[in-house]
Structure 1
Amino acid sequence: MKNALITFWGCRGSIATPGRSTERYGGNTSCTCLKHGQEYFIFDAGTGIRGLGLELMELVEQHFDGHTIELNIFLSHTHWDHIQGLPFFQPAYDSRFKLNIYGSENKDDMLEKTLSGQMNSAYFPVPMSQLNSELNVHADLQALNINGVKVCSAAQNHPGGSTAFKVTLDDGRTLVYATDNELDLQFHSDGTPKDDMGQRYFELISKVDYLIADGQYTDEEYPTKIGWGHTSLSLIHKIAYLAEVKNLVIYHHDPMHTDSVLEDLSHKYTHEYESLTPPMQVIWAREGLTLQLRS
């Protein structure tokens, strides 16, 4: 069985929040990396991808054997907090790397135009055409099989659309990355689906080993944020438990939630699920945290 490690490089939603009040959970925006053997599966390219890029550059300097290093980057959508780190991702400028970027097939050729557009001279000094890596942008997510690792996807409810990704390793271990979705519009308050999109999400996450899920708003905050594209904390816990998720990871923390606020929220929403039978482990994502993907 190949080792499979999940590392969080950015867990914040909406906007980066550096500073003393976010040191524990981190201030970088969304980026999570699954390393399976020598394969890299990177989810989102927020500001957190910069740190990942620096680590990859160190590794290639120490261990490069002449073979191109392939990186598979899956973008849930193209809002700024999920793509703004890409121009600062050092492997993109290095010919020793090959970057395969995947996004929603519903966007067609708009994906590449959006990524190159943020590197327009009005916003950034270096155009996308000057990236030295081999760059392939794909807007087709049907039946992906990358060296024995299967990746499927599902559309989500978010302004402008977003995509959830499910990874199934060759030995059956599973991971779902599903951020920026407003599950309160697709599910009843008891955690059961109320429409087709909700049912598809429920089936996608059913019995997975790890679910990295949007949990941006408290129950008190959500009523004033309806339509903003994010999920309330009590509901994502209920849905995950009903779907028999083994490990729930709360992700995409609100920029207004400091370390102390997140600590309080983790006690408020999480404690009861770890004492149920069977228990569901709940982890609040923090920058720098690495988890073993176990079945």
Structure 2
Amino acid sequence: MQIGFIGLGAMGRAMARNLALAGHEVRAWNRSGGAVEGVSMVATPAEAFDADAVLTMLSDDEAIRSVVLAPNLLGAARPGLVHVVSSTISVAFAEELVRHHAEAGVGYVSAPVLGRPDVAAKGELNILAGGDPDAIARAQPLLEIIGGRIWMIGPEATAANAAKIACNMMITMAIEAMAEAVVLTEGNGVSRDRFFELILGTLFGSRSYQVYSANIAQENYQPGFKATLGLKDLRLAKEAAGALGRTLPMLDAVHGRMRETVDAGWGDLDWSAMARFTMDQG
């Protein structure tokens, strides 16, 4: 299959490489250039859209708007193409994308992913798939290459985007919960390592607690997912809650803390640096 790929950040590079290793002809475009083993780089996004399927892994709504919508790539897309958007985008923008793709007669799938670059490299991402069942069926062989499990969220594409935003919101809540717990326990003579051994072996053994407790214990905040992107995703969650007329107190708290983390100059660190900000406060 001929596959176009747009967006070769840490996640996108791993996903494109796995598609190429699986024997597909992958043609990729990236705003800052670069190269990926087995992948042909093209000069324009339009060339990537001359394919049977296109996967987009750009950073946010505006990047997709400028790269895909502004030059009307959908209007010039190959007939029968299905476009899979794996970026974390707002629910409102996903609704807009559904409309634009329908008007252009292009298949559309929202397929945001759960996992960090190391998980992407192993082809073990959790993929949250939403959209027209026929479009998902056409995209499924590709999703099975980049993902360890595909979660069928439903026929409404936006449902997958809401689920991804909610998951990222909950990860930040877990990071903040561990940071505040460390403040209490270390202040009373319990070592960080011992406390994390306790919670991972009893009540909180999920991957988010495993990964980010290790970051906190080792004070290692090298980016797997930058705090600036975490702040963006929390903003998307607040927007989604606002569209429902709801106020979510825990969301407000972690959004404020992530904002403080970025304002402190730690935006390029991993988003778990939010824990460092909390623990360092006197």
Q: TM-score range by the shorter chain?
A: 0.3 to 0.5
**Which is greater in Rg?**
2
- Larger proportion of helix: 2
- Larger proportion of strand: 1
TM-score by length of 2: 0.36
